[in-house]
Every structure is written in C-alpha cells, then in structure tokens.
A and B are shown apart, each in its own frame.
Chain A
Amino acid sequence: MLSSEGPSGNRTLASKALRKAGLIDEDARMRDVSDRPGGRKGHPKSLIHKTRTSHRPRAIDAVMGKDQPGSSNRSPMISARFSAGSSGQGIAIRGASKATAAGRLRRNAISVNGDNSTRGPKIIELWREFVNSRWNPETRFLNLERMVEDDFIAKNRMTPPGAPGSSAKEAGVIFKIAGQLKPEIQTLSLANNAISNGAVLSMLSHYLPRLANLSLEGNSLTVWKDLDYIAGRRGKLEHLRELILKGNPIRELEYQNNRVEKFKSEIARRFPSLEILDQEAIVKIAFDTPLASTSAAGQKPRGATSFPAEMMPSFVTGVDGNLISNFLMRFFPLYDNQRSALIDAYHPQATFSFSANTTIPARARIEGYHTSKDMPNQKKLEWAPWLTGGNGGSRNLSRMGGSADKMEKSLHVGGEEAVKAMANLPSTRHDVAGSPEKFCVDAWPVSHGDGTALFMAIHGQFTELPAEGIRSFDRSFILAPAPEGSRAKLSGWDVMILSDQLNVRAYSSHTAWQPGPMRVQAGMPLSSVNPTPSTILLNPAALAQLQQALASIPEPQRSLVQQVCQQTGLNVQYAIQCLEGNGWDLGRAIANFDQVKATLAQDAFL
C-alpha cells in the first residue's frame, strides 16, 4: 500500500529533493571522485584580481552555470565527496602534517588572528564580500564549503570558522551577514571546514531561524552536544527539512557500530521537522510544515490568561445519539464479560492496539488519589500485564525506539486477532450504565475513502480485576456503517469497527471533563464565555449517505434497495429514489436506470 516505492525510489526521492534544495547538482552521481571537488584552477584567483563588483553574483551566470565559486563548485557536492577517493581530502584539511596550501593558509590565519579585533569594520566588510561571493540568490543557496582554501580568505588573512584559532565570533559574523541576504537564505553548506566544536554553530539558529537545508558534511562533529547548538527545539532550527552529517564522527561511529537506526531516530528526535537526512528520506508521509506560513519570525505568543472556551459536555453531531449509545452500551458489557463475542463488531481488516501511559498525573497525585484510604486497591495495580501482555505488549510508539518488530507485533489486524489480544489483557468492569458522568464521548462523521465514517473518542474509567483498582482510559474509534449481509450487521451491530486504539493511564478523576469554566492558574480569570458555537460543517452529501445507510429501511424494501445498489452501483439514496419512481418494481427500476445512467451525476453512485 504505502511501500510501492522500492529502495531505488527512495533514492530518487532524496536526490530530487536535494536538487530542489540546491544541494546536489543534476550530475552529481556521474562525477568522477578523482575530479577534485572545488577544483581551484584559477577562479578564486580571478576573484581576487577582479573588481569588487565582479564578486557579486549575476543572475545570468547562475543560468549559464558560470556563477561564483560558491555555486559552480556545488556540483561536486555532496554525495560524491565522501566517497573513498575524496576522503583523504578531508583529512588533509584537518591534519597539519603536510605543507599544503591549506597548511600555509592556516599559519597565516593564526598569525593575523590577534589583529581581528583591531581590524574592526574592515574585517566585517571583508566577510560580507566573501559571503556575497559565495551566495547564489537564484537558488537561495549560500555555499561556505572549504573556506580555508579560498584565496580571498587567504589573501585577506581571515580566519574562517573551523580553522585553528577561530572562535564562534567569526561564525557569528558570517551568520549575521547571511541573515541579511535577500531573498532569505534557504540552504547553507558548511561542508568540509574541519568544524569540531558545535559552539561554532551557536549563533546559526539565531540569525537563520528559518533555514531549510543544512550541510555539515565532512566536519569533525563528534558528540550529540555539538548538535544541541542547532537542534530544532526551543526556538532553534525548527524548520530544517534536510540535514547532511556524512563524514562526521558523530555519524560514522554510529554506522560502524551498527547503530544506524538509533542514529536516525536520535536525529529525528532532535530535529522534528526533518524530512531528509544524508540524502535519504526519513519520512514517506509529510505534512505542511510551518515553513509554508507567512508568520513573522520572533512574534511573541499571545499572553492569553484564560481558556478559549469552557469545558463542554460530550459533543455528538451529525449522527443519531442513540446509535452511539447503543454501540457503547453493547460494546463495553461485552468487553467486560465476553470479549470473544466482540469479533463480530470488527471489520475483517480492522486494526486494534492498546498502549500504556504509565506517567503519574500531576493533579491526581496532588489530590492523593493514588494513596487515598478511600481507594485502597490503587497500590495493588501493576503495569506489567499492560506493558507486556495482550499478545505483543503496549503499542506506545514513543517507547519503541524504532523497533519494526515490536511495531508489527503490537498491531492486531482483523477481528480474530483483536479479540485474541484483548483476551490476554486484564479483566475489567466499565460501569457505563450506572455512572454515565464518568464517561465522555465526542463523535461526528468524517469522510473516509469514498464514503463516510464515524470518528469517536471516549474517555472514562474502569475497575481492573483482580486488583479492584481503578484506571483511566481513552479509546479512539473509526466506525463505518455495517453493510447489509456483513458479519457485524447479521450480529445486530449498526456500525462496525475499522480502527480501535485503547490507551490506559493511571487514574485521574472524571471531574477533569466536568462542564464549566476552567482556570489557567491561580489568580487568573476563569475561561471566557463560550463563543457562538461554530457548528462543524459536515459534507451534506456524505452526511446524507451515512444517515441513509443507517436509517432503518423496512423489509421488503430493504432487500430491494440492496439489490438495486448491487446491480447498478447507485448509492442508497438514489436507489430509493429510483425504486420510488418505479413503484418499487425491481425490473422497472433497473430498466429505468439503464436508460438514464449516462445522465446521472457522480454523486449518485457508491
């Protein structure tokens, strides 16, 4: 279903995204690794001998592929570089053993380092000129690879980030200048600069908070702390989509030690918005990320001191409330007393799983529910049956560490597997009938595939046996009208379960959803009066379809409707119209349909 793309597809995907981001060139993979990246024949020199204006990128150059070194040299970027033939270069840059040009540069850099402070405005202008020479406004790409090798840097005796004697200060100046570039910078490469301390990056997210693509390839970052300077939390690179870390010890050591998955998941955790890591898509499903918005950076949160609305009672709309209560009043008693009988309520491909949230809730702890003399059995409750029971254990995906095995085993597909898993969970007592205030239901129809489903969440509590202690739970369902002749329908279920997720928690009182105003914190006003409810706009056709499908059509009409649906593909609503217009005669209805079918709108059909 989702996995039609093979590995090659993934690579294509990644490189396509990279090309879009300007991180690799069309022919990056074709390039011979011996073609020295950034081959510095002449052009940096020419940079120096040319006038200042010639350093500025010209649009035509970008189009002709003859733009400034920053861009023309991105062609060997990025995949080609860390291949066997080129790895020596990175070492040559880091090591000071050979009397290379880079080595000389470095000594020069050190010798002038002390002057930086006195050079003041001039050095900042030099950095600005350098940044401009590496900037491609067409692709919004600032290429700061191998800065130490740049002749402009050498000639002006500048100390680029990563070079011996450099500090976070130079990097800060560069990032500040980069932050002033127009249009706003999208992609930054700091590849192959021998950066070994994340502190160099400490001002990056301050000046470039909306950066989308970043290459740190071929540097010497070693520990997670180095990345925490830019990790996408607390106002750091929150919009980063693509990151390259190849050739840094922090990545290579994990790869050598077979901790690839752990490495990827650590990175994904640190950069929530990341989609592509080292040219490989780490997501196959994406969302419209905040990047697309026009929000002004640095905007302060509105300091609302009250909630937008009061706590309201159960919200059920677009569906007959009786349908929901009938379902729940049947489901929970069976769940408590005869779980195996629930098999009929599940679609043959239905999904079921349960998860445990074992955290002690702050408010319940202060209220003392877990130590109260009134609830002596709370201490007897144990998590083990929930964490490891149920034929596969708790499916709390935040505790799986990326284990594909566990993800698969803890998801139960089909009614039979679902009830088997449930049978292996602790026995329960849900007092749905006796204490309805201890339960809360929100439900409404949603479109699903070509039809309509019911989207529902229930919160409540149950007594766990044999401990007789009380737990809280949340259960989320997707339900569909049970089709005529289905196992669910034959067993008297109006709806059948497509998806069922149970979450079990330590007990919190149902007063959490007691209707009424709520307070943000002590001394603050209660939640404002509710806004005029903006009723959920349901797709009227979908709603009609659902209600029609659920309406009890008396026999013998029901079987006639069904036959028309089956033979013509009409939906229930149109099938009824067709039969009504033909005196409920099946033959006439079908003949009539054949005459007019070409004129029927798409929405007449199932």
Chain B
Amino acid sequence: MTTLTKNDIHIVSTAAEHFTRLYYTTYDSSTRADDLPNFYRDSSAVTWNGTPFQGKAGVRELLSKMPPTKHEVQSFDCHPVPGAQPPSLMVSVSGNVTHGKGPAGNPAATPAKSVDGQPRVFHQTFMLVPDPATVPGEPQKYYVNGDILRFVG
C-alpha cells in the first residue's frame, strides 16, 4: 500500500465527520427506519448490544423496535485501514444517547437519584468500505459493512 499522505488523512477525517453527522442526524430523525438502512447493504453485519442483525432489512427491523433516540457525539476517530485500495475505513464513536423522553419522561414518583431515563454512554465502531457502484467522477461512495454498538455506561 502506498504511504498515507497528509491529504489522505485529511480526506478520511473529513469523511468521518461527514459520516457521523449524517448518520446520527438520520438515526434521531422521524424517518430513520426508512432512511438509516441506506447506509448499509444486504451483506452488512450489525451487532446491537450483542444481538446480531443482517443487512438493510435487519437494520430496519432493529430501528422499527427502537424507542426514539437523541445521540450526542463526544468523540470520534477514523483510520484508513491498510490492505485495500481505496482503503476501508474504521470509524469509532463515543458519546451519549437518550432514549424516549429522557428523565422528563419518568413518572413523577421516580426518585431523583434514579438513573432511569438518563443518557447512556454508547460506543459504536463502523467498518466502512468503498461501494463498487460509485459513478466515475463523483465522490467515492462508501457504505457500512460492519457495525458494533454497545451501551458502555
């Protein structure tokens, strides 16, 4: 593989920024069950807290049963992974996610010290791979080939 140039690093870092913004905006939107699967292909594999889901249909199924979400990305990173051309990208994201209405959705009798409804810490790792269907002359298209999510706090 050719050596990484500063420009390459800038490109993949910008791509990761674009991806994370787009991905979580879509995830938190009202049309997520229709829209989020577009980031995946039928060969994509996903685990959500240890439960596997396969392909676009799997992502759709997962989201159709998901309470409303609000993600806050606090940290993310991205590498071009050596060994493929154009490179695969590994993106890891750390942040918090509120489900449902958050603490405001708890019944009035809920003790103030309860963690119920509070944001959880999540961590998600994506493997993004180039889409061979990219139209020449347009930006190289990528899709999510692998996706591991865990609640970690």
Decide if A353 touches B43 in the complex (CB within 8 Å): no
The distance from the CB of B129 to the nearest CB of chain A, in whole angstroms, is 7
Give which listed residue, B48, B54, B139, contacts A283 with CB less than 8 A. Answer: B139
Decide if A286 touches B141 in the complex (CB within 8 Å): yes
**Residues of B contacting A535 in the complex (Cβ-Cβ under 8 angstroms):** 52, 54
- Determine whether A107 belongs to the interface, using a CB cutoff of 8 Å to chain B: no
Known contacts A349-B1, A356-B75; decide if A363 and B115 are in contact (CB<8 Å). Answer: yes
Chain B window 79-111, contacts with chain A (Cβ cutoff 8 Å), 1 for yes, 0 for no: 111111111111010111001111101110010
Known contacts A356-B75, A357-B95; decide if A281 and B11 are in contact (CB<8 Å). Answer: no
**Residues of A contacting B53 in the complex (Cβ-Cβ under 8 angstroms):** 534
Give which listed residue, B18, B45, B114, B123, contacts A503 with CB less than 8 A. Answer: B123
The distance from the CB of B67 to the nearest CB of chain A, in whole angstroms, is 5
Known contacts A498-B83, A501-B90; decide if A295 and B117 are in contact (CB<8 Å). Answer: no
Decide if B19 touches A287 in the complex (CB within 8 Å): yes
A404 to B18 alpha-carbon distance, docked (Å): 16
Instruction: Determine the residue in chain B with the shortest Cβ distance to A455.
Output: B146
Decide if B66 touches A308 in the complex (CB within 8 Å): yes
Decide if B1 touches A12 in the complex (CB within 8 Å): no
**Residues of B contacting A421 in the complex (Cβ-Cβ under 8 angstroms):** none
Decide if B16 touches A272 in the complex (CB within 8 Å): no
Interface majority SS on B: helix, strand, loop or mixed?
Answer: mixed
Stretch at the interface among A251-259, A393-401, A555-563: A393-401
Decide if B121 touches A512 in the complex (CB within 8 Å): yes
A395 to B13 alpha-carbon distance, docked (Å): 10
The distance from the CB of A265 to the nearest CB of chain B, in whole angstroms, is 8
A32 to B136 alpha-carbon distance, docked (Å): 31
Give which listed residue, B10, B39, B87, B115, contacts A288 with CB less than 8 A. Answer: B39
**Residues of B contacting A46 in the complex (Cβ-Cβ under 8 angstroms):** none
Known contacts A407-B10, A499-B81; decide if A442 and B50 are in contact (CB<8 Å). Answer: yes
Known contacts A315-B52, A349-B82, A498-B82; decide if A446 and B152 are in contact (CB<8 Å). Answer: no
Decide if B10 touches A404 in the complex (CB within 8 Å): yes
Known contacts A3-B5, A233-B25; decide if A503 and B92 are in contact (CB<8 Å). Answer: yes
User: Considering only CB atoms and an 8 Å cut-off, how many residues of chain B contact the other chain?
Assistant: 112
Decide if B16 touches A238 in the complex (CB within 8 Å): no
Instruction: Determine the residue in chain A with the shortest Cβ distance to B7.
Output: A3
**Residues of A contacting B114 in the complex (Cβ-Cβ under 8 angstroms):** 366, 522
- Determine whether A513 belongs to the interface, using a CB cutoff of 8 Å to chain B: yes
A535 to B50 alpha-carbon distance, docked (Å): 11
Known contacts A353-B77, A367-B115; decide if A347 and B83 are in contact (CB<8 Å). Answer: yes
Instruction: Determine the residue in chain B with the shortest Cβ distance to A411.
Output: B9
Q: Which of A363, A456, A509 has the most CB of B within 10 A?
A: A363
Give which listed residue, A300, A361, A398, A521, contacts B76 with CB less than 8 A. Answer: A398
- Determine whether A338 belongs to the interface, using a CB cutoff of 8 Å to chain B: no
Decide if B18 touches A13 in the complex (CB within 8 Å): no
Decide if B151 touches A446 in the complex (CB within 8 Å): no
- Determine whether A250 belongs to the interface, using a CB cutoff of 8 Å to chain B: no
Decide if A359 touches B127 in the complex (CB within 8 Å): no
What 13 additional pairs, Cβ within 8 angstroms, besides A398-B17, A400-B13, A474-B125?
Answer: A2-B8, A268-B17, A288-B38, A304-B65, A305-B100, A397-B13, A399-B75, A413-B4, A472-B152, A505-B152, A520-B117, A534-B54, A536-B45
Taking Cβ atoms with an 8 Å cutoff, the residues of B that contact A are 1-23, 25-26, 29-35, 38-39, 43, 45, 47-55, 58, 61-62, 64-68, 73-90, 92, 94-96, 99-103, 105-107, 110, 113-121, 123, 125, 127, 129, 131, 137-143, 145-146, 148, 150-153
27 residue pairs of the A-B complex, CB under 8 angstroms, read A2-B8, A12-B137, A233-B25, A235-B30, A284-B139, A293-B38, A302-B66, A312-B51, A347-B82, A349-B82, A350-B82, A351-B4, A395-B77, A397-B17, A397-B75, A408-B10, A444-B45, A447-B43, A448-B81, A472-B121, A478-B127, A499-B79, A505-B94, A512-B152, A515-B50, A518-B49, A521-B106
